Every structure is written in structure tokens, then in C-alpha cells.
Chains A and B, each alone.
Chain A
Amino acid sequence: MKNNTLFERAVQGIFLILGLFTVGCVLLITLYLVFSGIPAILEIGLWDFLFGQVWDPAGADPRYGILPLILSSIYATAGALVIGVSVGFFTAVYLSKKASPRLKAIMSSAVSLLAGIPSVVYGLVGMMVLVPGIRELFDLPDGASLLAAMIVLAVMILPSVIKVSVTALDAVPKEYEDASLALGATAEETWFRVSVPAAKSGIATAVVLGVGRAIGEAMAVMMVSGNVANMPKLFESVRLLTTAVSGGMGYADGLYRQALFSIALVLFLFILLINGALNFFVKEKRNDSC
């Protein structure tokens, strides 16, 4: 008996330490970002930093305005959502409600595979196929653009959008649908009037997950977006928050380097906001089922 409690305590202790390790990492990163990100913001001025329209940190007269980067990140994420969520949502409805079990199994594993492809591969394919394709299709001088970033991000968020939505749709009680069908609604009416509203918090979670994935992606975007810190235009080259940090970190020093940490801090706050939204939706889901 005594041995047992000792053993249990030991195991408990180990689990606690492992759990604390994760929390410790988050705390460490947060503190590090805050402490290394604040000085440059103070030096540049919060307003000039967030709303300055020129990002030219290495010029003779350095300018540290990250508004073009913030807007580009938001536009690229929004565009990816418009494309990715519409494709992903209908795919999920099809997989959950219409597809035969065999087809569903095959397509689900294809979607999982898509999730497993490294982002650098997305970037590479985007660079070799998508960028020249956009150039030809729209008769532009160059295809590296905000649009290319949106499309690559849209494909990258598809797996999480589809999987989470399918899970949510599968979880809708069969009685709801049976009742709707019994009342004379067609199958399609039932999916979109009954199943989808019943699964709406799960689908919202899928969308928020997609936003989180899209806004934090750097590698693939860097390879297709051209990386010039312009104010965002659909067919112009843009630089996002993530690509500014990863592209500049190699050689930057002084205030430029500090400003990169400040950008990382801004990005971190964006992602915190998204996580907050995610928690909100998950909570709402729990209340729904009560």
C-alpha cells in the first residue's frame, strides 16, 4: 500500500515536471519576445512602428514602418480563408454526408497526406508552377504576388479546415437529420439547414485554426510572394510579417535586428488573439451540447 502511493506520487511528479516544461517554454518565449521586442518599439515610437508606411530598415535613412507588412499578412490570410474555407467547407459536407464510406476513406487519407507535406515543398511547387502560371494567366511581367501567397496558403489550410469540419459534421446527431427528412426536406436542404447549423461551432473552430496556420506560415510564402515591402496589391510583390522576420534575421544588426523582434512580438499578439477566439468558440461548443 505504502509502496503504491509512493509510486503514484513519483509518477505524478514526473507528469507535473513534463507539463511544467511546456508551460515553461511558452513563458520563456513570451518573456523573451516581450523583452527583446519592446526596446525597438520605444525607440521608433509605437505609432510610427505600427502605422509607418515605409519599411526600409537597411537604407541610408532607415525607416521602420510595418503597416505594409501587417496589411499584407492580413490580406494574405483573408484571401487564403476565402479560397480555402469555401473549398474546404463544401469538401467537408460532401465527405461527411454524401461520399460512400470507401471514397471517404480514400479522400480522408489524401487530406491527411496534404497536411503532412512540408511547407518548403508547397513553396517550391508554388515557385515552379504557380508563379509562372499566374504570370501567363494574367499576362503580368512577374507572377510572384499577393495572389500567389493567398493560393499557397489556401491549399495549406485545407487539411485542418476539412478535418475539423468533417469531425464536427459527423458528430451531428442522426435524429436531427432524420427529423428533417421525415418532415419532407430533401437531403441537400437537410445538410445545409440542419447539419451545418448544428455543427457551426466546430466549423468556426476549423476556420480559426486555418487563420492560425495561415498567418504564421513563413517558408512557403517567402518563396512565392516576392518579398518587397509594398503596400498590398493583388498582383504586386508583398512582404508579410513572418517573411520579414525570417528573411532579415540572418545578417541584421542594431536597431534593425531589434525591430525584427518587435515584428515577431506583433505577430505573436495576433496569434494570441486568434487562440483567444479559438477558446471562445470551443467554450461555446460545450455550452451548445449541454
Chain B
Amino acid sequence: MKKLICIALAFAVALSLAACGGKEKQAVATDGSTSMQKVILALGEAFMEDTGANFTYNATGSGPGIKAVKDGTCDIGLSSRYLRDSEKAQGLQETVLAIDGIAIIVHAGNPVADLTLEQIAAIFKGELTNWSQLGGKDGQIVLIGREESSGTRDGFESVTGTVDACLYRQELTSNGAVLTAVAENPNAIGYVSLSSVKDSVKAVSVNGVAPSEATVKDGSYAVQRPFVLVTKQGEKLSKTAQAFFDFATSPAANEIISAAGVVPVN
């Protein structure tokens, strides 16, 4: 019995070593924004399937990701904000991969159709508490949000300037759950990824601009942020890293990017 297990184990080890040996040199390392996890892992998986190269992603955050590129500890950095001028001055360059649009949704019967970014921030911070203050029917506003670790929550709160200040009535764990909760409650307001908005709720326009793929792309819809690939200026990527970069920014990747809930730009 013991012998059998030993032999089986030896085989397994040999197989995995052989598998590693073939692909060892083809690797691309990415590092950065946790919000980009879904889209970058989807792209990485497709890339691995196509080329057999090894793809790794380190979920650290936009800042550490940018630093990792600068230090040369990864091939491509991932940032969910544009690079600052100081960072560009250090020889880094950005390529926008996709844009994360976040729709602000209310109950389908809610007469309020347009909010400013300031109003949205005031609502979620609990400074505006009744729909009548916004031209709607009398009713206490019910705030529906996402759980702490959600990328959508992170995006919404950083764009509206309400990080750690939102007084949620419910914190749900998926876009679908937020949609259902808002569709069920006439006084609810919530936010979901633009790609998951359904007819059961009403997406309000922000600063007079209705959310759509087009308005997100041209930048006129305010509740959005870029997903950026960060590389070093004037320095060549490894062959595999370049292949991944080209794949991710090619139109061929658009379907994967859309499926991950964000708007592709290339």
C-alpha cells in the first residue's frame, strides 16, 4: 500500500516538473489594483490557454503595482487611476485598458432622474435623507451598497469622495443582489457595474449625462475610473509580456473585458 502511494506520488511530481520545465521561460508577471482582479485574471486565463505561457497576478493595490513596475519586480503594473504627473516624470507610461463605469440605480417608479455628483455624495454620507429634498416623493432614502472588499464599492466611493463615509442600510455581496434590493424598495438607491444594469431598476443620469458605454468612453459620464496598464517608458518588455500586452489591448480581448463588467476602449 505504502509502495503504491510512493510510486503514485513520484509520478505526480515527475509530471508536474515536466509541465513546469516546458513553460518556465515564458512568463508574464502583473501586480497592482485589486479592482482589476476580475478583468486581468480573465485576460490572463485566455492568454495562458492560447500561448501556454505562465501568467501571474499579484493583488496589492494600484500604488504598490505602480511601484513594482518602477522597481522592476513585475512586467506590467495595474492601476485603477491615471498616473500622477510625478509618476510619469519617473519614466512610467500608462495605457488605458478599459473603463469601469458605475451606474447609480433607483427604483423604477422613482421620479428622480438626474443627480449631481455632489448630491450623490451627500446622499450616501447621510446628509440628504429624504427623496423630497431631491424633488421626489416623501420617503426616507435607503442606501444599498456592496461589501467592504468589493471593487465596485471601492470605485464608487473613490469617485464620489465618500470612502469609509457611507451609511449603508444594506451591504450586499453581488451586483445582482443590489439590483434585486433596489427593484424591491421604492426608496432605495444603490450602485452596480454599468454592464449589469437591468430594466427592473432606473439608472439615473449624473450631472445630466445618462450612463452608457458611449458616455463612459468619451468621459462625459462622471462615475467612472480607468483601468490602466503601467509600463516603463523606453524599456522593452520581455517577449511574452509584450505578447500579453498586445493581446490585452487588441480588439480581440474586448469580449473578455466586457464579460468582466467593464467597458473596453481599444
Query: Which residues of A are in contact with B by a Cβ distance under 8 Å?
Result: 56-60, 127-128, 131-132, 135, 141-144, 222-223, 226-228, 237, 239, 247-248, 250-253, 256
A56 touches B170 (CB 8 A): no
A248-B147 CB under 8 A given contacts A60-B163, A128-B184, A135-B185: yes
Distance of A60 Cα from B163 Cα, bound (Å)? 9
Q: Which residues of A contact B148 (CB under 8 A)?
A: 56-59, 248, 252, 256
Q: Which residues of B contact A58 (CB under 8 A)?
A: 148-149
Q: Which residues of B contact A135 (CB under 8 A)?
A: 185
Distance of A185 Cα from B150 Cα, bound (Å)? 64
Distance of A222 Cα from B148 Cα, bound (Å)? 15
Which of B59, B141, B169, B185 is close to A132, meaning CB atoms less than 8 Å apart?
B185
* Chain A interface SS verdict (over half): loop
B63 to chain A, nearest CB (A): 13
B59 touches A142 (CB 8 A): no
Report if B94 contacts A (CB, 8 A). no
Distance of A253 Cα from B61 Cα, bound (Å)? 11
A59-B164 CB under 8 A given contacts A141-B142, A141-B187: yes
Distance of A251 Cα from B149 Cα, bound (Å)? 6
Q: Which one, B3-11, B20-28, B171-179, B217-225, is touching chain A?
A: B171-179
CB closest residue in chain B, given A55 = B148
Query: Which residues of B are in contact with A by a Cβ distance under 8 Å?
Result: 34, 37, 59, 139-142, 147-151, 163-164, 168-173, 177, 180-181, 184-185, 187-188
Q: Which residues of A contact B163 (CB under 8 A)?
A: 60
Q: Which residues of B contact A247 (CB under 8 A)?
A: 147, 171, 173
A141-B140 CB under 8 A given contacts A57-B148, A253-B59: yes
B170 to chain A, nearest CB (A): 4
Which of A59, A141, A222, A252 is close to B139, meaning CB atoms less than 8 Å apart?
A141
A227 touches B173 (CB 8 A): yes
A132 touches B149 (CB 8 A): no
Which of A59, A144, A239, A251 is close to B181, meaning CB atoms less than 8 Å apart?
A144
Distance of A56 Cα from B165 Cα, bound (Å)? 11
Q: Which residues of A contact B141 (CB under 8 A)?
A: 141
A142-B188 CB under 8 A given contacts A222-B173, A227-B171: yes
A60-B164 CB under 8 A given contacts A247-B173, A250-B149, A251-B150: yes
A226 touches B149 (CB 8 A): no
B8 to chain A, nearest CB (A): 17
A144 touches B149 (CB 8 A): no
- Taking A56-B164, A141-B140, A226-B169 as known contacts, 8 extra A-B pairs with beta carbons closer than 8 A to each other, sorted by chain A number, are A58-B148, A59-B148, A60-B163, A60-B164, A141-B139, A144-B169, A144-B170, A226-B171
CB closest residue in chain B, given A129 = B184
Q: Which residues of A contact B59 (CB under 8 A)?
A: 253
CB closest residue in chain A, given B168 = A228
Q: Which residue among A56, A144, A253, A256 has the maximum number of chain B CB atoms within 10 Å of its CB?
A: A144
B34 touches A228 (CB 8 A): no
B173 touches A142 (CB 8 A): no
A13 to chain B, nearest CB (A): 11
Distance of A57 Cα from B188 Cα, bound (Å)? 25
B184 touches A227 (CB 8 A): no
CB closest residue in chain A, given B59 = A253
B180 to chain A, nearest CB (A): 6
A sample of 15 inter-chain contacts (CB < 8 A) reads A58-B149, A128-B184, A131-B184, A132-B184, A141-B139, A142-B142, A144-B181, A227-B170, A228-B169, A228-B170, A247-B171, A248-B147, A251-B149, A253-B34, A253-B59
Q: Which residues of B contact A144 (CB under 8 A)?
A: 169-170, 181
A129 to chain B, nearest CB (A): 10
Which of B34, B140, B170, B187 is close to A226, meaning CB atoms less than 8 Å apart?
B170
Which of B149, B170, B171, B185 is close to A256, meaning CB atoms less than 8 Å apart?
B149
B109 to chain A, nearest CB (A): 14
B148 to chain A, nearest CB (A): 3
CB closest residue in chain A, given B188 = A142
Distance of A60 Cα from B170 Cα, bound (Å)? 20
Which of B34, B168, B177 is close to A251, meaning CB atoms less than 8 Å apart?
B34
Q: Which residues of B contact A57 (CB under 8 A)?
A: 148
Distance of A252 Cα from B188 Cα, bound (Å)? 27
B177 touches A223 (CB 8 A): yes
A142 touches B185 (CB 8 A): yes
A123 to chain B, nearest CB (A): 10
B208 to chain A, nearest CB (A): 28
Q: Which residues of A contact B164 (CB under 8 A)?
A: 56, 59-60
CB closest residue in chain B, given A143 = B185
CB closest residue in chain A, given B165 = A59
B14 to chain A, nearest CB (A): 27
Distance of A239 Cα from B180 Cα, bound (Å)? 19
